[in-house]
A and B are shown apart, each in its own frame.
Chain A
Amino acid sequence: MQIVVNGEPRDVAATTLAAMLDELGYGGARLATALDGDFVPAGRRDAARLAEGCAVEILAPRQGG
């Protein structure tokens, strides 16, 4: 299905947030996720179902002021 990851359209086979992270190569990274604007804690990514056209944000530590 096609979804939007960090603002870019992506075709993924995964149907959950956790599986999508593995599929796209994020395994083991320190990051936080949001699905359609809502925070999804790491412990709930397995249960977070992806839907056609949904928007995922994958964020990580960065420099800040």
Chain B
Amino acid sequence: MRLYDVEIASRLLLGTAQYPSPDVLADAVRASGTGLVTVSLRRESAGQRAGQSFWSLIQDLGVRVLPNTAGCHSAREAVTTAQMAREVFGTDWIKLEVIGEQDTLAPDVFGLVEAARILSEDGFRVFPYTTEDLVAAERLLRAGCRVLMPWGAPIGSGRGLNNPFGLRAMRAHFPGVPLVVDAGIGLPSHAAAAMELGYDAVLLNSAVSQSGDPVAMAAAFRLAVEAGHAARLADPMEPRDMASPSTPVLGQAVL
């Protein structure tokens, strides 16, 4: 899979938040097989220096990082956060979040397009967290995005794919654009379903970190993403409303 001309080995992108311990996070990242993890920026205390130890852990894992702008509610906040992330993480990749509504953490697509344009013009490679709205998607592409990341369901909800019809339409409408289902995935079956729809990858966090055994769940998601992608390539049969016998009717005995 290529994202912004970079080959990414795994189609599973993993968040690094809310694991029981740094060791579990590291083991889950390895078990997932991911080559790209999301990270954030938060206030640093001079005494605790929590960010420094976290950064050491990520570096030891040898994976690429995708910094986010989580918690930003305006284009201005998101742009400033992205600029700070570029310096700290040494990458021009940014998962762009501009949150518009607190209960659902739905993207503010107006602020998102504005921030995406500013950042793309400044040389960033923008991964926008958006909805399945085709108009917003088209505007994001015009703003310079070369990847789109529609939500499956609200962040952290674990609801899976709320609108598979909309996601299918998005896949059909943008056949050449890398599409990543980001947020709302709760089960490996949700991830497999996204891949079967033809999505290029899935990005998830809570489904692994909030499970009873994050390392085992990371491995389960690895298998599900591979299975879903393989199924897509194998061209699934068309569903039908009525039964169709699979065992030959011809030659059946009359008893």
Q: Which residues of A contact B (CB under 8 A)?
A: 6-7, 24-26, 29-34, 37-39, 41-42, 57-65
Contacts and interface: CB of A to CB of B under 8 A. Distances in A.
Given A34-B84, A39-B80, A39-B84, A60 B41 contact: yes
B68 A64 contact: yes
A38 B70 CA distance: 18
Nearest to B18: A63
B52 A30 contact: yes
A32 B42 CA distance: 10
Contact of A61 (B25, B80, B88): B88
Given A6-B43, A31-B51, A32-B41, A59 B67 contact: no
Given A60-B50, A60-B55, 16 more contacts: A30-B51, A31-B51, A32-B41, A37-B76, A39-B80, A39-B84, A42-B87, A58-B43, A58-B44, A59-B44, A59-B88, A61-B58, A63-B40, A64-B17, A64-B70, A65-B38
A8 to B, nearest CB: 9
Contacts of A7: 43
Contacts of B51: 29-31, 59-62
Interface string B33-68: 000001111111111011110110010000000011
B206 interface: yes
Contacts of A63: 15-19, 25, 39-40, 54
B89 interface: yes
Given A26-B44, A29-B52, A64 B39 contact: yes
